[in-house]
Amino acid sequence: MNSDYTMIMDKEPILPLTNLRLIHVATYLTAVVIGVLGAGGLTNLPARLAFVTLCLAFALVYAVAVRSDNFVRRAHLYFTVQTGLFIGLIALRSPSGAFPFLLFILAIQATIVFPGRVAVRWLAIFYLLASFSEYLMADLENAIGGAIFYIAVFFLAGMIGHSTRRAELTSRFNQELVDVLQTARHQLQELAVVEERNRLARDIHDGLGHYLTATTMQVQGARALLATTDAATQAPTALDALSKAETLLQEALADVRRSVGALRTTPANQKPLPAAIGDLVAECRATTDAEVQFDLRGTPRPLSSPIELTLYRVTQEGLTNVRKHAQAGRVEVVLAYDPDKVNLTISDDGRGMGQTSNGYGLLGLRERVQLVGGQVNIQTAPEQGFRLEVEIPT
């Protein structure tokens, strides 16, 4: 935070006085009090009027400056004009010793407006003017005492101004942080919308796509049976295929309802992960000619909902690929629980593939696993089968 604070000081080395109400009140009140006290010490009416006019001008210049949009660029001009007005007060030689306190107000303002060395230079100018005014109105001994007194006065002014400046810079820094955080929050909201769209796309592909693929294969099988010359004999088998297709469509509808329900709340009654994967294996076994085996290793334990959903969807996608592409004779699904991780392996002895990067299914699968901190490893080659390995730390 210190580096950021320094950065803000470098970026805004000169601060306006616009929002400092206490400084406003102190400036106007001091100008009025000094005008009354200083004019009261003069016997000449024109001198009195001149003194009051200079004090009013001091207040007016301040009022115009703090409302100016160009104050930051013209801050030195402001303090130069105010210093000139004070020199005019010195020239009137009022016996009142109070008017140098206008410089006290200017010193506070300067240490608020300017950083470090610039503020110190203005403090030195104000100190010298105050000491000189004391010298004009008193003997040498009192002038020396006044000069020593003004050291403490302007040191106090510098401390007040510096503290106010730090508070103002901190307020600005905090406001910038708020703005940055609000921007980041809006960006995160936009990213969340995009991520939710991607998640829904994965759910549709991995869930509904899985069931529709299996249903399509059943319907195609029934159509092929009914298209044969011996359709009457094949009718029971075709009806069985259509019955399985109906069951799959019902499961697809249930899966869609689960996905919609997951958007509202976490399902309260879900099967344990091994049982859910076992159902997917049984379904694949019933809808393909391949020998599909499920091997559970280690001691099953509850996992977080995102991890369990990811493993379930990976199994769906893997078995869907087996149905659509593998032409396998044997498929093996292995779910292994280790103390600090869980592994899922789906392998087949089918035709394999030449590359693994294409296809939304595998892309969505990788995204799912990466979101829960896991890794995906795919081993395949033409006519050498397909092996999908997923490892997720728990």
Q: What is the pLDDT of residues 2-43, one digit of tens each?
A: 554 444 444 556 788 877 888 889 889 988 988 888 888 788
Mean pLDDT of the chain: 80
Q: Nearest Cα to 278, choosing from 258, 293, 289, 259?
A: 293
Q: Distance between CA 189 and CA 196 in Å, rounded?
A: 10
Q: Nearest Cα to 300, choosing from 273, 329, 328, 323?
A: 273
The pTM assigned to this predicted structure is 0.47
Beta carbons within 8 Å of 9's beta carbon, 6+ residues apart: 115, 169
Domains contained in the chain, CATH given = 2-184 (no CATH), 270-394 (3.30.565.10)
Mean pLDDT of 289-306: 91
Q: What is the pLDDT of residues 224-260, one digit of tens each?
A: 766 665 656 667 777 777 777 777 777 766 666 555 5
Phi, psi of 114 (to 5 degrees): -100, 150
Q: What is the pLDDT of residues 342-389, one digit of tens each?
A: 999 999 988 877 665 555 567 778 888 888 899 999 888 887 888 999
Residue of higher predicted confidence among 320 and 235: 320
Q: Distance between CA 386 and CA 365 in Å, rounded?
A: 15
Mean pLDDT of 125-154: 83
Residue of higher predicted confidence among 288 and 337: 337
Strand partners, 337: 342
User: From its phi and psi, is residue 295 left (phi > 0), alpha (psi between -120 and 50) or beta?
Assistant: beta
- Maximum distance among all alpha carbons in the chain? 133
pLDDT for res 7: 45
Question: In Å, how far are 71, 201, 254, 307 from 264, measured between CA atoms?
Answer: 55, 17, 15, 19
List the end-to-end C-alpha distance of the chain, in Å, as a whole number. 35
Cα torsion 20, 24, 25, 26 to 10°: value is 100
**Residue 268: pLDDT over 50:** no
Residue 126: pLDDT band by 50, 70, 90 thresholds? very high
Beta carbons within 8 Å of 11's beta carbon, 6+ residues apart: none
**Residue 263: pLDDT over 70:** no
pLDDT for res 9: 45
pLDDT for res 125: 93
Q: Distance between CA 322 and CA 288 in Å, rounded?
A: 9
Residue 266: pLDDT band by 50, 70, 90 thresholds? very low
Q: What is the pLDDT of residues 41-91, one digit of tens each?
A: 788 888 889 989 999 999 999 999 888 888 888 889 999 999 999 999 888
Degrees to nearest 5, angle at CA 324 with 321 and 329: 85
**Residue 341: pLDDT over 60:** yes
Rounded percentage of the chain residues whose pLDDT exceeds 90: 24
Residue 269: pLDDT band by 50, 70, 90 thresholds? very low
pLDDT for res 362: 74
Q: What is the pLDDT of residues 178-222, one digit of tens each?
A: 888 888 777 776 776 666 666 666 666 666 666 677 777 777 777
